[in-house]
Each structure stands twice: as structure tokens, then as C-alpha cells.
């Protein structure tokens, strides 16, 4: 079967490691990855503890399709209580790390406690060790950490997931990076890892993954692969990645700009996908040089870029040597947050800031949105040069953006304040209304006044503002009205929870129906799996995450949006003159979910989903 049936348990306080059997009853109810890790988190920790406490639990989890022949089957998830939000945190990553720890024979790695000094974990199939990191990789960047571990253990194919200096310094939105630029990026999972003094997990596996019904699995994989490979979305993602979305949201009037004071960016042509592909006058090359794929992926949406060697960010010889080669390029979410959101019209500066987020291990969405909030604080004179350390934090200042990316990653100067995240920063300086957050997590790249479904999705997401928890895009880009959004959001939240738990990428869902995922799960795992069963699993997962948050003290009062979305009308675009009409959608959403009017979950819903 495509579950390996084993969990690696690590107690950093006791410096102990053991291998436990996977709870197969839970596996059949929560599938894997996001869902199964969420169940273990729910059962094994008190949700009221502080996220940076040693009592927090950090879980790395694969899905049943991770490491198999299923296209895009390289995903893994990190689940914990988030340092940014103090709520349920679930952050998904690609690359090769997830498949490798599945090859080592584990479905999950569950980490508890706190090491007395910085350490890293090395895994080679059944053999796992906790090793000293103090005078080895502590204080190093993500890139240096990966290189040094491979050198010490004399294996260039070891896969490493690590934190950079941002995680060590407990930047609230620090992330966990693998394969140099693939990230478990949101909610501060890297800060939780840093609080445990765990610098990295390095893994080498050789066991492979065996499907339960090989012939049925292979047939389902081949049919799904053919469907994916011939779908227009594959070619679009392969050639341009996700950046074309910037032109779509800008044209529609849902591109967060200038800290969401605007919804369209007048200089879009300088930072969009065409700007990435355009030949530069300075060196005759383009910012975008190639694409790349994660494990088992036939889409290859990843971007590979090279910064203009004549750009101001490359004028120090050391930086040109370290960062002047091929690096991870901009995706839409990093592109919006490091350009329109902060008023930047310099794609090379945005690329440089994004690269530093990878090097130091920070979420570029939260970083960019926090900088945007700081720029509004600066322009309204809530903060000044004495607080920023002389940095002129005006919208459009690309040098300030690049400087803050370095200072935040290294935990220096005003970067320490940026590392708080937008909510804590704005509260500190008396203007919480400037923080574009939900449940403490910064907005992704969709202004919700023109996208009412996304407004509801942000408000009800278990991990705060998120564009991946629901998929109301098709309806939102056509209909600017609250009617009908509740059902779309609920249905796609459940569907996405199921997909996130398979070990495959959500982008395959552009071509696949839930039946395609189910057919592959049916071949890989024991039992009978169909689309309806996956939908039920997804609904169970979403409700369990809600239960965790409710037990943590996060109630329906936090199912809301910033006042800017609720009271300030959009200035232009399709949503001109409108606000997010959350009050018209939320009661219907609660009803459809089988929740009470106060947002708590009814006993009948819990019983139906086997959650009590």
C-alpha cells in the first residue's frame, strides 16, 4: 500500500528517536499529509499553548501519492500551531524532500520538545540521529546549510529541509525551505522549527513506495497523466508559471496595490510576466531564463531567473558572486507582494528581494505585505526615520525593499520590526487598520472587494488569509455579487482539503477532477476510494481544523476582514464602488457547513463526520 505505515518520532528535549506504526484507522479517515497530520496535531497537543513553546508539535507529513508515479506526487506538508497566527498552521511544499523522506520509509516525522542547543536531524532509512549544529550550520543561510550538510555527509543527493537566519531569529513568518527555493511558506512554521533549535532535517531513502493494486494504479496514473499533459493549463504554467495572473487581477481590479489602497497598478507592464521575459537593454538577456519541475511533475511551473548584473543589488562583488547566477524566480504571489503591493516598478529588485526570502527563509507574501503596511505607517507619519534607521519607507522605493529583505532575514535594525508581521507591527504603532491580515496572516494576491467568494474564503480559512484553501476564481472573475458564493467556497474548501492530503499538487487540479485523484488513491491504497469519499474526507479535515482553532480560543469574531475591505470602496476596476459583503455570505456559509450561528460546529455535524 502507498502508506508506508511508519512514523518517525523525535523528542528533542530527551534527545530520543523511535519508530511507531501509523494509525491506519486515522489514515482511512484523514488520508495523509494535511489531513492526517492535522489529526495527530489535534490529538497530541493542547491547542492553547503558545506557538513558540517547546510543547508545540511540529509535523512533516507526506500523502499516500507522495513518492509514487502519480504526476506531481512530490508534495509534503508541515503542520503545527503557527507562530504568525497562533492558530492551526498547514504549509505545503514541493521539490524533492517529501518524496525522499517517504522513500526512507515514513509517512510522517513528528517532532516534540526543544533541544538544549542547536541541532539537526539526519535520516537514512531506519537510522536517524540528532547531531550538533552549533558550530556547523547554526547562523548560516538556507543555501549554506544545504551545501554544508551534503559536504559533511558526502552525498550530493541528500535532501534537506531547513530554516535560515529568519527562523533562528523567530521572524513570525519564517518558513522552511527545501531544494533551495521550494518552501513550506506560510504561517510561520519556520519560526516554530527555530524555537525548537532544530536547524535542518536531512534525509536519504532507498525503500521506494509500493501501491496496493499495482495494475489499477498504473492505469489510473496513465489516464490522469494523459489528461494533464494535453490540458491547456499545463502549457500555460510551463511557459509562464503563475505570473500571468498579475495581468488578470490588474485588469479586473483585484490586484492588491499600495497596501490595498488601490486595486490596479499603473506600472504593471514593468513587473508582469512580459517584463520577466523581455530582453534587457543592459546585458541583452531576460530576467526569466528557464523553468523547472518538482519530483514527478510533468507541469514544471517553477521559474528560474537571473538578476541583471548591472542592477544596484549586484554592485557589491560578494553579492554578485553569491547571488548572480541562476536563482528561483518570481511567482505571482511573490510578484504581487514585492511589486504592486509596495508600489515597486523594478522587477529586478522584486526578484532580488524574493531571492533573499529564499536565502534567509522567509515567506515573501507576508514580508511584502508587512513592508507595505510599514510604508503606509511611514507615509502617514506614524513612524519616521528615527524608527526605520534612516530608511525612506515610501511606496516605490526599491532600494528600501531590498535593504529590508536583508535586515529582516538577518534580524537587524528595523528588519526586527518587519519580522513581527503586519498585525503586530501596526498594533505596536497605533494603526491596526493598516494591517491587511486575517487571523494575523497577511493577504495573498487578491483584493476581495471585486472577488466576493475570495472574501469569504479569506475570512473562514483555518490558517488566516489564504488563496489556496478555496477556489472561487471562476465565479469571482465573472460575478461580483455575494449570492451563491457560500456554497462554492464550502465545496471547494472541502475539495482542496482532500487534494492537499493526497501528496499531489493542487495545480494538477486544473486538469483533473476529484475522480482522477480518487482513481489513483484507489489504486495506491487499500479499500474503495471514489470522489464522494474524498469529499467526505475533505469536509472532515476542514471541520477538524475548525475544532482545533475553536479549542485554541479563535472563534467566529475572527471570521472577518480588515475594515479597508468592509468599509472603504474599491476605487476602480470591476468592483469599483463596492466593499466585501461578508455579512451577506457568512450566515449562509455557517448554515451550509452545519455549524451554529456563532460559528461553532453542531453535534450532528461532528457525528456525521465521525469527529466525536
What are the DSSP calls for 286-303, one per residue?
A: BSEEEEE--TT-SS--EE
Q: How far apart are CA 8 and CA 101, in angstroms?
A: 10
Phi, psi of 151 (to 5 degrees): -70, -45
412: left (phi over 0), alpha (psi -120 to 50) or beta: beta
Q: Distance of alpha carbon 414 from its chain centroid, rounded?
A: 25
C-beta separation of 187 from 89 below 8 A: yes
Phi, psi of 39 (to 5 degrees): -65, -45
Phi, psi of 28 (to 5 degrees): -75, -20
Residues in a beta bridge with 290: 304
Q: How many CB atoms lie within 10 A of CB 316?
A: 11
C-beta separation of 548 from 591 below 8 A: no
| 491, three cell numbers | 465545496
| 231, three cell numbers | 490540458
C-beta separation of 104 from 76 below 8 A: no
Residues in a beta bridge with 302: 292
Which residue matches cell numbers 547531531?
131
- For the chain, percent helix, then strand, then coil, each to nearest 5? 45, 15, 45
C-beta separation of 559 from 469 below 8 A: no
Q: How far apart are CA 578 and CA 367, in angstroms?
A: 28
Architecture of domain 457-608: Orthogonal Bundle (1.10)
- DSSP characters for 135-181? TTTTT--HHHHHHHHHHHTT-TT-EEEE--HHHHTT-TTB-EEETTT
Q: Encode burial over 291-314: b for 16+ CB neighbours within 10 A, e otherwise.
A: bbbbbbbebbbbbebbbbeebebb
CATH number of 242-441: 1.10.569.10
What is the structure's pLDDT at 1? 78
C-beta separation of 336 from 445 below 8 A: yes
- Report the alpha-carbon angle 294-297-299, nearest 5: 105
Q: Which residues contact 128 (CB under 8 A, 6 or more apart)?
A: 8, 10, 17, 121, 122
| 521, three cell numbers | 488513491
Q: Where are the beta strands (DSSP E) in 30-164?
A: 58-62, 76-81, 88-93, 108-112, 119-124, 127-132, 159-162
180: left (phi over 0), alpha (psi -120 to 50) or beta: left
| 151, three cell numbers | 559536504
Q: How far apart are CA 446 and CA 259, in angstroms?
A: 12
502: left (phi over 0), alpha (psi -120 to 50) or beta: alpha
Q: Which fold has domain 6-204?
A: Aldehyde Ferredoxin Oxidoreductase;  A, domain 1 (3.60.9)
Q: How far apart are CA 284 and CA 559, in angstroms?
A: 49
C-beta separation of 409 from 360 below 8 A: yes
- Report the alpha-carbon angle 247-248-250, nearest 5: 65
268: left (phi over 0), alpha (psi -120 to 50) or beta: alpha
Block means of pLDDT (10 residues each) for the chain, 612 residues, are 96 98 98 98 97 98 98 98 98 98 98 98 98 98 98 97 98 98 97 98 97 98 97 96 98 98 98 98 96 97 98 95 96 98 98 98 98 98 98 98 98 98 98 98 98 98 98 97 97 98 97 98 98 98 98 98 98 98 98 98 98 96
| 469, three cell numbers | 484553501
C-beta separation of 261 from 565 below 8 A: no
In the chain, domain spans: 6-204, 242-441, 457-608
No. of H helices and E strands in the chain? 26, 17
| 542, three cell numbers | 476542514
Beta strand 198-204 pairing with 159-162: antiparallel
Residues in a beta bridge with 10: 17, 111
Least Cα distance to 444 among 434, 454, 433 occurs for: 454
Q: How far apart are CA 262 and CA 244, in angstroms?
A: 19
Q: Determine the longest span between alpha carbons in the chain, in angstroms.
A: 68
Which residue matches cell numbers 513581527?
420
What torsion, rounded to 10 degrees, do the Cα atoms 561, 567, 573, 575 define? 80
C-beta separation of 565 from 260 below 8 A: yes
| 575, three cell numbers | 468592483
C-beta separation of 597 from 586 below 8 A: no
Half-sphere exposure (Cβ direction) of 532: Cα atoms closer than 13 Å? 1
Which residue matches cell numbers 482553532?
549
Half-sphere exposure (Cβ direction) of 597: Cα atoms closer than 13 Å? 0
What torsion, rounded to 10 degrees, do the Cα atoms 347, 351, 356, 361 define? 120
pTM, two decimals, is 0.98
Amino acid at each position: 500500500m502507498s502508506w508506508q505505515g511508519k512514523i518517525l518520532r523525535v523528542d528533542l528535549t530527551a534527545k530520543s528517536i523511535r519508530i511507531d506504526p501509523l494509525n491506519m484507522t486515522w489514515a482511512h479517515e484523514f488520508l495523509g499529509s494535511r489531513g492526517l497530520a492535522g489529526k495527530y496535531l489535534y490529538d497530541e497537543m493542547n491547542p492553547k499553548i503558545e506557538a513558540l513553546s517547546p510543547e508545540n508539535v511540529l509535523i512533516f507529513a507526506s500523502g499516500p501519492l507522495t513518492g509514487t508515479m502519480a504526476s506531481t506526487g512530490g508534495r509534503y506538508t508541515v503542520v503545527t500551531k503557527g507562530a504568525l497566527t497562533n492558530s492551526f498552521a498547514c504549509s505545503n511544499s514541493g521539490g524533492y524532500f517529501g518524496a525522499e523522506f517517504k522513500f526512507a520509509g515514513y509517512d510522517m516525522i513528528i517532532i516534540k520538545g526543544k533541544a538544549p542547543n542547536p541541532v539537526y536531524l539526519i535520516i537514512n532509512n531506519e537510522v536517524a540521529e540528532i547531531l550538533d549544529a552549533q558550530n556547523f550550520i547554526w547562523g548560516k543561510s538556507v543555501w549554506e546549510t544545504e551545501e554544508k550538510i551534503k559536504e559533511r555527509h558526502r552525498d550530493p543527493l541528500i535532501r534537506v529541509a531547513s530554516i535560515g537566519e529568519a527562523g533562528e531569529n523567530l521572524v513570525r513568518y519564517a518558513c522552511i525551505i527545501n531544494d533551495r527555493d521550494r518552501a513550506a511558506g506560510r504561517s510561520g512554521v519556520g519560526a516554530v522549527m527555530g524555537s525548537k533549535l532544530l536547524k535542518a532535517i536531512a534525509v536519504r531513502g532507498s525503500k521506494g513506495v509500493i501501491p496496493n493494486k499495482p495494475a489499477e494504479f498504473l492505469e489510473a496514473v496513465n489516464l490522469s497523466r494523459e489528461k494533464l499533459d494535453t490540458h491547456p493549463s499545463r502549457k500555460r504554467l510551463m511557459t509562464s508559471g503563475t505570473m500571468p495572473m498579475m495581468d488578470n487581477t490588474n485588469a479586473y481590479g483585484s490586484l492588491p496595490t499600495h497596501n490595498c489602497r488601490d486595486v490596479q497598478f499603473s506600472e504593471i507592464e514593468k513587473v508582469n510576466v512580459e517584463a520577466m521575459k523581455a530582453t534587457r537593454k543592459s546585458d541583452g538577456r531576460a530576467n526569466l531564463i528557464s523553468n523547472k519541475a518538482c519530483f514527478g511533475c510533468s507541469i514544471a511551473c517553477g521559474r528560474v531567473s537571473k538578476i541583471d548584473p548591472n542592477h544596484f543589488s549586484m554592485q557589491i562583488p560578494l553579492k554578485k558572486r553569491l547571488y548572480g547566477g541562476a536563482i528561483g524566480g518570481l511567482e505571482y504571489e511573490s510578484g504581487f507582494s514585492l511589486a504592486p503591493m509596495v508600489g515597486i516598478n523594478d522587477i529586478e529588485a522584486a526578484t532580488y528581494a524574493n531571492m533573499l526570502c529564499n536565502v534567509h527563509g522567509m515567506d515573501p507574501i507576508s514580508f511584502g505585505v508587512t513592508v507595505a503596511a510599514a510604508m503606509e505607517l511611514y507615509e502617514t507619519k506614524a513612524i519616521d526615520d528615527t524608527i526605520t534607521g534612516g530608511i525612506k519607507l515610501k511606496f516605490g522605493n526599491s532600494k528600501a525593499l531590498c535593504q529590508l529583505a536583508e535586515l529582516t532575514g538577518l534580524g537587524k535594525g528595523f528588519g526586527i520590526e518587519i519580522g513581527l508581521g503586519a498585525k503586530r507591527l501596526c498594533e505596536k504603532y497605533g494603526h491596526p487598520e493598516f494591517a491587511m491580515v486575517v487571523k494575523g496572516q497577511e493577504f495573498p494576491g487578491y483584493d476581495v472587494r471585486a472577488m466576493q467568494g475570495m472574501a469569504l474564503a479569506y475570512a473562514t480559512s483555518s490558517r488566516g488569509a489564504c488563496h489556496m484553501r478555496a477556489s472561487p476564481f471562476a465565479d469571482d472573475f465573472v460575478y461580483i455579487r455575494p449570492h451563491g458564493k457560500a456554497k462554492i467556497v464550502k465545496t471547494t474548501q472541502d475539495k482542496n482539503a482532500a487534494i492537499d492530503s493526497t501528496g499531489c499538487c493542487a495545480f494538477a487540479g486544473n486538469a483533473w477532477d476529484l475522480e482522477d485523484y480518487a482513481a489513483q488513491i484507489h489504486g495506491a491504497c487499500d479499500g474503495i476510494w471514489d470522489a464522494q469519499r474524498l469529499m467526505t474526507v475533505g469536509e472532515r479535515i476542514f471541520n477538524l481544523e475548525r475544532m482545533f482553532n475553536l479549542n485554541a480560543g479563535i472563534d467566529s469574531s475572527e471570521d472577518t476582514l480588515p475594515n479597508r475591505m468592509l468599509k472603504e470602496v474599491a476605487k476602480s476596476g470591476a468592483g469599483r464602488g463596492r466593499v466585501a459583503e461578508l455579512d451577506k455570505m457568512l450566515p449562509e456559509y455557517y448554515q451550509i457547513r452545519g455549524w451554529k450561528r456563532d460559528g461553532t460546529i453542531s453535534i450532528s455535524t461532528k457525528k456525521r463526520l465521525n469527529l466525536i
